[in-house]
Amino acid sequence: MLGIMASQPSCWGIFPTPANNELTRHTIYHDLNPACQEIRLLRVHLEEKDGFIRCELLPAASLSNIRGQYTAISYCAGDPRRTKKIFVNGIPFNVFENLAHVLEMTRNFWTKTFPDKECIIWADQICINQFNLAERSHQVGFMRGIYSSAAQTLICLSTTDVDPRGVEWLVKLHQSVDPDGDFYQYYFHLEYYLRTNLANKQFADDWFAFYDVFNSPWWMRTWVYQEFISSSNIYFLYGKSSVPWKRLSEVLPTLQKYSHFPYFGLTITERQAQVADTTNIVNFFVISKLRFDRVGPFDLMDLLSQSRHLQSSDSRDGIYAFLGLVRESYGIIPDYSPENTMERLLVDIATRIVLQDKTLDILSDASRVRGELSPRLPSWVPDWTTKTCVSLIPRTIRDTSDGSVALFPRIVQSGKLELQGFHIGVFRKGKLGWYFPNSRDRFRHDGEGREELWDIVGAQGPFVLRHVGNQYHLVREAQRNKPAGYNSVEDAVQRHGLQAQTVVLS
C-alpha cells in the first residue's frame, strides 16, 4: 500500500507520511540487511484498554525464515494530514487515519477468525523505517515477496464506518447456493437464484449495496494492484464484515454478468451506470490476477498500457509498483533519488522495453500516449504518467525477406534510437488528404513541414516521421482513409525496389 493520496511539506521523502517528532527521539528501528531480505513484523495487541491501538515492533527477520508466519495488510492510506495516534513499543506513533481504521478492523477480524493465535502483521508505514531513504528503496524492490510469503493478506476496502449490507448479502447468497459439486450446475443454480429474487425490493437494494463495496478508493491505487496479484490467501474487510477472495471469486463472474439489472426498467439508470463503472475497474484486477496465476509475469509495457487509471502520490510509483509482476530480466532497480527524474526514468524504461522485449510496438504507443512530459521526452518514448488508456498492438514482428537488415534497434546515445526502415516518400497535399506518391493507397495525416512516411523494420507501421537535421522525430502512425485489399507499404517496397536505410529517432 505504498502509494497515497497527497503530499505536504511536513511529509517525509518517498512515501508522504505523517510527521512523528516524538518517535524520532526514540530508537525503535535498527538497520535491516537488504542482502537477506530482512523485514520487520508487528504484533498487534488484541485487548483494548484505553481506546488506543497498541502494537509491538518485533526484531528484524529474513523473509525466507518467516514465510507463512505473518499477515500482510493492504489498504488505501488517504490524506497524510489526517492522522491518528497509536502506540508502538509504548511510544506514540502518528499513523494514517485509514491505517488506524485498518488496525481496528484487523483486530476485530482476528478475534473472530483466529482467537487462539497471535496477531502478527506487516504494515508498510510502521514496518518500514520511513526516515531511512535507502531502506525504503530496497523494501520496494521485493514487495511482491512480502505479500506472496504472507499466510494471508487482509485487504481493507473501508476507510470509515460503512454499511455492511453488501458483504452480508454476499455471504447469505453463498450460503443459499451450494458451491460444491458440478461447476456448471452451480452457476445454473446461482443464476436461477438471482433471477427468481429480483422482484424482491430488499434483495435488489442489498445487491446494489454489494456494488458499493467496489466504490472503495482502494481499487484506484497503484501499489495495491501488486499486493492483490501477489497474495494467495486473501480476505476482504469491509467495516466489521469480511469475505474470503475464494468465496467472492466463485460468484463474481455471475454478479458482473447481471450488474445492469435490466428487469427494473429505467428508474435506476443512474445507479446502473455507477455499477458499470465500478465493475469495469474491478474486472481489471480480477482478470489480471487470473492471468498472472495461470501464465506468470507480465510484459512491462502491457501493464503500463492498461493501468493508466491507477493513482499514486509519486509518479515513479506508476512503474516501480509493477516490478514484482514483470520479468526480472528488465533489471530495474527502484531509485527515488532527486536525480532520477520522471523524464529520465521514462527514457530508461522505454529503452529496456525495446531491448528486452525485442519489439518496437512501443512506437505505436508513443505516437498515442502523449502527456505533459511529452515535449521533454524523445519522440519515441511514451509518457506513461498520462491517464490515457491505450489498446495494445498485437506483438508480431515482420522481418525483411532477405534477412539482410538488422531486426532490432540499438541505442546510439541516451534517448536516441537507431532503427532500420524503408523510406516510402514525402507527404504531398492531395484532394483526399495527405498521401505518398509511391503507393496506390492514400494515407491521412494532418501535419505540416518536411514529414515523411517510413516503414520501420520490426514495427507495426507505417509511421510518419518529421525530418529534423540528420535525425527524425516520431509524429504518429499513418492511417488509411479507407481499407485497402492489400498491404500498400510492402507493395511499395517490392515494386520500387526500396533499400533499407538507417533512421535515428530522437
State how far the Cα of 461 lies from the Cα of 66, in Å rounded to an integer: 51
Q: What is the tens place of the pLDDT at every residue in 201-233?
A: 888 778 878 877 888 889 888 889 999 999 999
**All three cell numbers of 210:** 454489494
105 contact partners, CB below 8 Å, separation of at least 6 = 154, 156, 158, 237, 239, 240
Percentage of the chain modeled with pLDDT above 90: 23
Q: Name the region of 37 (left: φ>0; alpha: ψ -120 to 50; beta: rest).
A: left
- Whether 360 and 477 have beta carbons less than 8 Å apart is answered as no
* pLDDT bracket for residue 399 (50, 70, 90): very low
pLDDT at 24: 58
Residue 360 to residue 316: CA distance in whole angstroms: 23
How far is residue 455's CA from residue 473's CA, in Å, rounded to a whole number?
14
Q: What are the sequence ranges of the domains in the chain?
A: 300-376, 410-505
Helix 245-257 vs helix 269-295: crossing angle, to nearest 10: 130
Secondary structure (DSSP) of 442-478 = -EE----SSEEEEEETTSSS-EEEEEETTEEEEEEE-
Q: How far apart are CA 41 and CA 366, in angstroms?
A: 42
Cut 0.75: pTM above it = yes
At residue 337 the predicted structure's pLDDT band, cuts being 50, 70 and 90, is confident
C-alpha to C-alpha distance for 451 and 500, rounded to whole angstroms: 18
Which pLDDT band, with edges at 50, 70 and 90, does 154 fall under?
A: very high
- At residue 298, the 3 state secondary structure works out as strand
Pick from 17-31, 78-92, 261-275 the range whose average pLDDT is largest.
78-92
One-letter amino acid for residue 437 of the chain = P
